[in-house]
Amino acid sequence: MHVLVTGAAGFIGSHLCERLLRDGHTVTGLDHFNAFYDPALKERNVAAIQQVGGDRFTLARVDLRDLPALQAAMVGVDAVVHLAAMAGVQPSIRDPLIYEDINVRGTLHVLEAMREAGIKRLVFASSSSVYGNAQRVPFSEDEPVDRPISPYAATKKAGELLCHTWHHLHGISVICLRFFTVYGPRQRPDLAIAKFIRMIANDEPIALYGDGSSSRDYTYVLDTVDGIARALAATSVPRYEIFNIGNSGPIALRELVAHIETAVGKAARIQWQPMQPGDVERTWADLTHAQAALGYLPQTPIADGIAAQVAWYQDQTK
């Protein structure tokens, strides 16, 4: 299959491109290398993809908001995995308009370009943040998600809604995946694990918000990518479905830091801060649906995943 991956130069996108190329697909990777974090890291990710893919990989340096350029990139494509977005909760509170522009209008552009090109298969990257502070755990896809608590979460929910509309009107087969805090080599430098590894390794103090009991269902990136590959295969049948792609093993913040301390071999200097508005108390994926329908089952224990990310970090900073 010829798959267009948006956000290909990013953290999850670059791993996904490698996986799809190894599976024998042809991949167009679309990205505009925005400066949300250092674009040089994204160039490095793309160089790694090119090593795996050779001439089966094509890079399209395109901004989703440029509809004609997006349409041109879709020529000859069989399926789309739409990962490109402004990610992150706290920056979305500071600058909500750019989140609306890229995550909502950008997704609309992807759907419209697919309709015009006659492409019928889409996997859309949603987020566990759509659950807000839902009380019932683990989070099930049946849970009502109409109470987002950050602009980022609201734009991801909007993306799911737009996907349903284009499925209903234009017969696009869509699977929306709600990812749960993804980590591993190439993780976005703004995310907690990447920050903590860097700061603990450099003997810098780290800020922990709340009392250390907030928890996240950290998911190793190759498990997430396996979920995406399975979802992509499942779009061969007309459907609109939402799946959690998590780990179903929430880890408390203090426990996470202990894993990082072990892997780095240093103790953290912790500065406790009050919980930040917009951050949820906990995430925890119910994987019953993903396991039954996609055969998705994460494989990576947190200690192994953290060790792999620390090894990658040490290699990068050599």
Ligand X SMILES: NC(=O)c1ccc[n+]([C@@H]2O[C@H](COP(=O)([O-])OP(=O)(O)OC[C@H]3O[C@@H](n4cnc5c(N)ncnc54)[C@H](O)[C@@H]3O)[C@@H](O)[C@H]2O)c1
Q: Count Cα neighbours of 163 within 13 Å in the Cβ-side half-sphere.
A: 27
Selected binder of ligand X within 3, 4, 5, 10 (CB under 6 A): 10
For β-strands 251-252 and 270-273, DSSP reports them as: unpaired
| Residue 281 · residue 214 · CB < 8 Å | yes
Catalytic residues: 152
**Partners of 57 in the β-ladder:** 27
Shortest separation between residue 103's beta carbon and ligand X, angstroms: 7
Site stretch for ligand X (CB under 6 A), options 18-26, 81-89, 196-204, 306-314: 81-89
Shortest separation between residue 234's beta carbon and ligand X, angstroms: 18
Identify which of residues 106 and 148 has a Cβ nearer to ligand X in the complex: 106
Tell me which amino acid residue 271 is.
Answer: Q
| Residue 17 · residue 29 · CB < 8 Å | yes
x/- string (CB under 6 A) for ligand X, residues 220-249?
A: ------------------------------
Nearest alpha carbon to residue 233 among 6, 85, 23? 23
Identify which of residues 20 and 64 has a Cβ nearer to ligand X in the complex: 64
Minimal CB distance residue for ligand X: 10
Shortest separation between residue 74's beta carbon and ligand X, angstroms: 13
218 binds ligand X (CB under 6 A): no
Shortest separation between residue 260's beta carbon and ligand X, angstroms: 16
42 binds ligand X (CB under 6 A): yes
Structure tokens at 3: 């798959």
Helices and strands, number each (H, E), in the chain: 12, 13
Q: 305 phi and psi, to 5 degrees? A: -65, -45
Identify which of residues 24 and 46 has a Cβ nearer to ligand X in the complex: 46
Coil/strand/helix, residue 210 = coil
**Burial state string for 57-88 with b = 16 or more CB within 10 A and e = fewer than 16:** bbbbebbbeebebbbebbeebebbbbbbbbbb
Shortest separation between residue 200's beta carbon and ligand X, angstroms: 20
12 binds ligand X (CB under 6 A): yes
Selected binder of ligand X within 3, 7, 25, 217 (CB under 6 A): 7
Number of amino acids touching ligand X (CB under 6 A): 27
Q: Where are the alpha helices (DSSP H) in 208-252?
A: 221-234
Selected binder of ligand X within 33, 196, 243, 313 (CB under 6 A): 33
C-alpha distance from residue 205 to each of 197, 199, 200, 265 (Å): 11, 7, 7, 15
Identify which of residues 84 and 308 has a Cβ nearer to ligand X in the complex: 84
Helix (H) or strand (E) holding 179: strand 173-179
Selected binder of ligand X within 28, 127, 150, 247 (CB under 6 A): 127
Identify which of residues 26 and 45 has a Cβ nearer to ligand X in the complex: 45
| Residue 193 · residue 185 · CB < 8 Å | no
Residues from 162 through 181 that contact ligand X (CB under 6 A): 179, 181
For β-strands 215-216 and 251-252, DSSP reports them as: antiparallel
Residues from 46 through 65 that contact ligand X (CB under 6 A): 63-65
Nearest alpha carbon to residue 155 among 207, 105, 220, 210? 105
Shortest separation between residue 265's beta carbon and ligand X, angstroms: 25
125 binds ligand X (CB under 6 A): yes
Footprint of ligand X on this chain (CB under 6 A)? 7, 9-13, 31-34, 36, 42, 63-65, 83-85, 87, 102, 106, 125, 127, 179, 181-182, 188
